[in-house]
Structure 1
Amino acid sequence: MTSNQIVTPRRPVGPQQRAGDRRGGDLLSIGAVLAYLREDFPEVTISKIRFLEAEGLVEPQRTPSGYRKFGPADVERLAYVLRMQRDHYLPLRVIREHLDAIERGEAPPALPPAGERPGPLEQADRELDTPAPGGVRLGRAELLAAAGAEERELAEWESYGLVVAGPDGGYDADTLQIARLVAELGRFGLEPRHLRQVKAAAEREVALVDQVVAPLRRHRNPQTRAHAETTARELATLAVRLHATMVQAGLRGQAR
């Protein structure tokens, strides 16, 4: 397979296929789906599958008692999403566009050549450089669904100050991203108590950036104040790159 060849699901994933699944066929529990997917994606978890469902990338059936039941098309959609994330670092928004195109009977957008695909660090840079959507407010239940987490997990994150609700009790886009990352780290065995050092390091970096931009934010000129926010994002991106590069260099040093 060439590096820029489009990879599509092995079975149709359109509405007719999903409708066929709902009329019968081989329906699987979430545990059976997990066992099947782990052959190719050993890192996948039940929480990950629930998260992808919350994001609207798969819509399993529900039994009267509330249990999820997945048809063949649902499993193929999950495999496609996981493959695009692992092999091509595509964000969920782009993967959803691919799946929508496939459902319409169209070819999904061409994948960029291997040399042009962003690695995990570059993708993080892009996301950090894009301001979070303004005005996004999630309730507690919505945050739990979007992060693929349980109530007890959120309560523990809040007890360690990793996730903080706003004055109105809601959560913004930045908090949602933090919750998702904390949940992902938790699947590798990192507990909230382990992440206190990460939070402390982030607070020190915020203070460092603030030393540079605070005079700009207090300036009388509106353009200068606007420049302060651009400068803050640039500094944050550089700080994240420095931190990630130092961690990667340290891990490589230990592997020698």
Structure 2
Amino acid sequence: MLRTPKGGAGSGTARTGEPLLSIGAVLARLRDEFPGISISKIRFLEAEGLVEPDRTPSGYRKFSAGDVERLARVLRMQRDHYLPLKVIREQLDALGRGEHVQLPGPQRGPLSAVPEAEPGVPTAARMGRDELLAAAGVGESLLDEWESYGLITPLPDGAYDAGAVTVARLVSDLGRFGLEPRHLRVMKAAAEREAGLVEQVVSPLRRHRNPQTRAHAEATTKELAALSTRLHAALVRTALGVRPD
């Protein structure tokens, strides 16, 4: 017996006799407007509580028309307004309560372009070598060694981005446990392989004729990077037998 579709917080319930769609059919309906949509993306949005499709006794997802419209609304909020999922969920919940929601105007650039810095990490887009050394709290010889192993790479003009500080601090912290730069090459290689997978997903979006779709590629890159980081951390904990916090 099918359970009543919830379609996420605040979503309508399917009417009696309303045909329900498989996840593949939903993908086909959304793909014209959202070329980058995938089954994994739909599953991710479900895992984040943004849609709750029905389930058959054997576990297959079944989506109502309300579920499909809700998914489309979520994707538009991401594409057109670059809203994080938490804000999108709050907006949809407010709509479900009948409240008026004022969305921000379309952004000219993705909010994801703003780096998420750690506390105490400079947020400037560029910094000189002396600034990096001071922010990371390391000396010239250490930075030279890290650069020789490719753990930190300066920009073409010799400057560094804010992410270099985060990497420098993490490499320094690992060094306190006896892990040297040569030991960390395997982590760098793994990161490059993960970046390659993300690039395979977003490349078609960047080449799309629709400028909004091309802009959405940056938001998608950030989301995939976050998911990849979480998966990597979970796999390392699992391999070490460490329970999650």
TM-score (normalised: structure 2)? 0.48
Higher helix share: 1
- Could you say which structure has the larger radius of gyration? 2
